[in-house]
Amino acid sequence: MAAPGPAQLPALQGLLKAPSKDAVRQLCQECFSSPPAGLGPLALRTSAGLALSPAEAEQLVSALHGLTRHVVYRGLTRAEDILSLFPETFHQNLKNLLTKIILENISAWRNEAQASQISLPRLVDMDWRVDIKTSSDSISRMAVPTCLLQLKVQEDVALCGNSPVVSALTVELSKETLDTMLEGLGRIRDQLSAVANK
């Protein structure tokens, strides 16, 4: 995510018309969270709220989105790094306020970015039960334990938007299958410890 250039950031000075610091905070959050497609409607609301022309609101929202996303992308954590993004002539107090707001939110925004990154369907829940099979058509008396495992898997968040699709898969495992699975999982755990200890 390229840094917003010196031509774009002055548009942020429209924020000087904001009624309160909290309003600025709110707008920063909304601009960060909004996908590029959502910036249009956000700009309209901002234009009304801050008494700016639609064009000015659009530039403001776009610049704020770009700025917040850039800081999160680069993982900037020091005030000096953020301050240096603004042009020399930028309003001093507004620059300090924005830097402060960004620093407050940076770790929450980072988590938000990580949670919404693309991935395979994610495991969201698992349940299990153990049954004993006592009889079947091939053998009338037995006592065979078996495990039923239900995995709830959620499709990629980015694709589902606000209505995530969760599908449940129930699998049956015999004792042998479970032992083999545990062997595999144990190997993963050992490798993870090896990596962690390096």
Partner 1 sequence: MGLLNFTRDPVPEAVSGDLHNLNQLSAQQFSDLTQVLFSFLTEPKEVERFLAQLSDFATMNKISLGPLKNIVKSILLVPSGALKRNLSSEQVRADFIALGLSEEKASYFAEQWKVNSPTLTRLAVGQTLMINQLVDMEWKFGVTAGSSELEKVGSIFLQLKLVVKKGSQTENVYMELTLPQFYSFLHEMERVKTSLESFT
Under the rule (CB under 8 A), what is the footprint of partner 1? 1, 69, 72-75, 110, 113-114, 116-123, 126, 128, 130, 132-133, 136-149, 151, 153, 169-175, 177-182, 184-186, 188-189, 191-192, 195
CB of 120 to partner 1, least distance (A): 4
Using alpha carbons only, give the angle 65, 21, 66 rounded to the nearest 5 degrees. Answer: 10
Number of H-type helices and E-type strands within the chain: 7, 3
Distance CA 57, CA 44 (A): 7
Using alpha carbons only, give the angle 63, 70, 122 rounded to the nearest 5 degrees. Answer: 115
| Spatial CA neighbour of 66 closest among 34, 89, 21 | 34
Distance CA 121, CA 26 (A): 31
Q: Toward partner 1, which CB reaches closer, 21 or 189?
A: 189
CB of 103 to partner 1, least distance (A): 17
Q: Toward partner 1, which CB reaches closer, 7 or 168?
A: 168
Q: Toward partner 1, which CB reaches closer, 88 or 183?
A: 183
CB of 69 to partner 1, least distance (A): 7
CB of 186 to partner 1, least distance (A): 8
Q: Toward partner 1, which CB reaches closer, 7 or 192?
A: 192
Q: Toward partner 1, which CB reaches closer, 51 or 181?
A: 181
Using alpha carbons only, give the angle 165, 167, 168 rounded to the nearest 5 degrees. Answer: 155
CB of 49 to partner 1, least distance (A): 27
Q: Where are the alpha helices (DSSP H) in 50-147?
A: 54-74, 79-83, 92-115
